[in-house]
Structure 1
Amino acid sequence: MGGKRYAVLLCAEDSDYVKKKYGGYFGVFVRMLAEEGETWLVYRVASGEFPEEDEIDSYDGFVITGSCNDAHGDDPWICRLITLLKKLDSMKKKVLGVCFGHQVMARSLGGKTGRAESGWDIGVTPIHLSAPAVKLFSSLQIPSVLSLIECHRDEVLEVPAKVEVLAWSDKTGIEMIRYGDHMMGVQGHPEYSKDILLNLIDRLLQRKDIVESYAEEVKANVEKLEPDREALKKLCISFLKGRL
């Protein structure tokens, strides 16, 4: 009794592979973020399952996942998610957004999202922390350049003045954002393992979302580089649980 409570707002359908190996994307996030004594629940928001109004305040934080949908789309569940995000902002609830979650968070705060001019960004990418971010995360003793798994073709194109850009990469100008002390978004996938990404590349290829030559190129990149998963885990946990 009395342990902290967190909710994952699941914006994607579980792939058969992730469901079988990790218990779905909810299981992937719980493995990365959960600590002893906490309660973690999932709401499948892409299927219309949202927390009730009177449930929201019982949670200490929320995690918004990636998605195959576009954060700039107006699907009914996306519009409902934006309304919920505005409420969470007004309540100063901790919110961590990942990939689509990062983008839809920026949109809810008045930013602009859309297709990246440079196309797909898939692989293990070095992201550069800004000077204020290095200072913010100084207690974590993490490097100023972090290797992060990426898989996206949309991005945050513009952020409002009140939103701080914490990191950038050569291909994506807005890799990480923060609003106040309660909302943070990460464009990449700190929760992914390399095998999840490799399986996802195969699925994108099967769906003809990417061509074979690009799939082979990014697979070679993934084999060569290691993501900084422990540093990213520490960063996400520290933010979500107010330890910065």
Structure 2
Amino acid sequence: MKVVVADSADEATRRSSRRYALLLAAQDSEYVLKAYGGYFNVFVSAFGGGECKEEEAWDMFRAVDGELPAAEALAGYDGFVISGSPHDAYADELWILRLCLLVRDLVAARKRVLGICFGHQVICRALGGRVGKARTGGWDIGIREVTMAPTLPPCGFLHGLPPYAKITECHQDEVWEAPEGADVLAWSDKTGVEMFCVGDRVLGIQGHPEYTGDILLSLIDRLASSDSITMSFAEAVKRQLEATGPDREFWLKLCKSFLKTEEA
């Protein structure tokens, strides 16, 4: 599946365009299909465009169904985004193992790789870090304030980070130990590694910058109806969402800057 954000005017424009791939690690929910046409559109809306004035193309690969870009196609992409998933990043399902191998290939090729929630965790695993069930136990769902590291690596996309930022969370697994050579960029009172980077080409974020409020509410209802969370827990999260929200524009700007800033 492919979406071209802007039509190219000529062959020269096509050659200079940027191209990104979404590696989708979850099936589209009924709500997201109805409201947005699928998670692909959610991610392109969140991370596409921005300050870059060039033509921009996005492709989708359903990694959860075993669909990944061919090795010979990797060079044609400027960046890759790995989505969240209800699956465990530490599981040994074949598609997860293949995704880990792909991550290693992308890092070796110095491609930009952005991981969201499950994607954050699977990048960690692929690069030798440790991932598992949240050590504090249970789900982390709702809005959580994360603390940014006081000292950050000299990456352009990290310039001007605030000391704190609120983000939408929905997970019960976490990064236990970041990969060797990684910098932990943020943490919270619930999760020790909310964000990490490896140089200027790999970024993992535990929360969901791409989520809108209605997507989270739909997910809460689904988890409650399947008894994955209690109704009282679901109602408490909904009350929190009525009182506060994420710093979504900050997170979207950060992700776009990471994907589209050229650095040496």
TM-score category of the 2 structures, normalised to the smaller one: over 0.9
84, 88, 112: which one aligns with 2:130: 112
Q: Distance in 2 between matches of 1:141 and 1:175?
A: 18
Tell me the amino acid that sits aligned with residue 180 of structure 1.
G
Q: Distance in 2 between matches of 1:138 and 1:7?
A: 20
Q: Distance in 2 between matches of 1:83 and 1:96?
A: 15
Tell me the amino acid that sits aligned with residue 220 of structure 2.
I
Match of 2:9 in 1: none
Q: Distance in 2 between matches of 1:116 and 1:215?
A: 19
Q: Distance in 2 between matches of 1:63 and 1:51?
A: 12
Kindly report which structure 2 residues correspond to 1:73-222, keeping only aligned pairs within 5 A, or say none: 73-118=91-136, 119-133=138-152, 136=155, 141-222=160-241
Match of 1:21 in 2: 35
Q: Distance in 1 between matches of 2:158 and 2:82?
A: 25
Q: Distance in 2 between matches of 1:204 and 1:64?
A: 22
Identity %: 49
Match of 2:24 in 1: 10
Ranges of 4+ aligned residues in structure 1 off by more than 3 Å: 133-142
CA-to-aligned-CA distance 1:76-96 (integer Å, 9 cap, x gap): 000000000000010010000
Mean CA deviation greater in 38-47 or 159-168: 159-168
Mean CA deviation greater in 172-181 or 160-169: 160-169
Tell me the amino acid that sits aligned with residue 93 of structure 1.
K
Preserved CA contact (<8 Å) 1:6 1:41:
yes
Preserved CA contact (<8 Å) 2:78 2:111:
yes
Q: Distance in 2 between matches of 1:174 and 1:31?
A: 26
Shift of 1:21: 1.0
- Specify every segment of 5 or more residues in structure 1 that has no aligned partner in the other structure, as ranges: none
Q: Distance in 2 between matches of 1:226 and 1:27?
A: 22
- Specify every segment of 5 or more residues in structure 2 that has no aligned partner in the other structure, as ranges: 1-13
235, 248, 255: which one aligns with 1:236: 255
39, 42, 55: which one aligns with 2:73: 55
Shift of 1:213: 1.1
Q: Distance in 2 between matches of 1:137 and 1:227?
A: 23
Q: Distance in 1 between matches of 2:200 and 2:156?
A: 13
Preserved CA contact (<8 Å) 2:61 2:67:
yes
Preserved CA contact (<8 Å) 1:140 1:235:
no
Q: Distance in 1 between matches of 2:35 and 2:191?
A: 30
Shift of 1:178: 0.2
- Equivalent pairs counted in the alignment come to 244
Shift of 1:22: 1.3
Q: Distance in 2 between matches of 1:137 and 1:117?
A: 33
Q: Distance in 2 between matches of 1:139 and 1:110?
A: 24
Q: TM-score, normalised by structure 1?
A: 0.96
Preserved CA contact (<8 Å) 2:129 2:180:
no
Preserved CA contact (<8 Å) 2:155 2:199:
no
Structure number with greater Rg is 2
Q: Distance in 1 between matches of 2:199 and 2:190?
A: 26
Preserved CA contact (<8 Å) 1:6 1:62:
yes
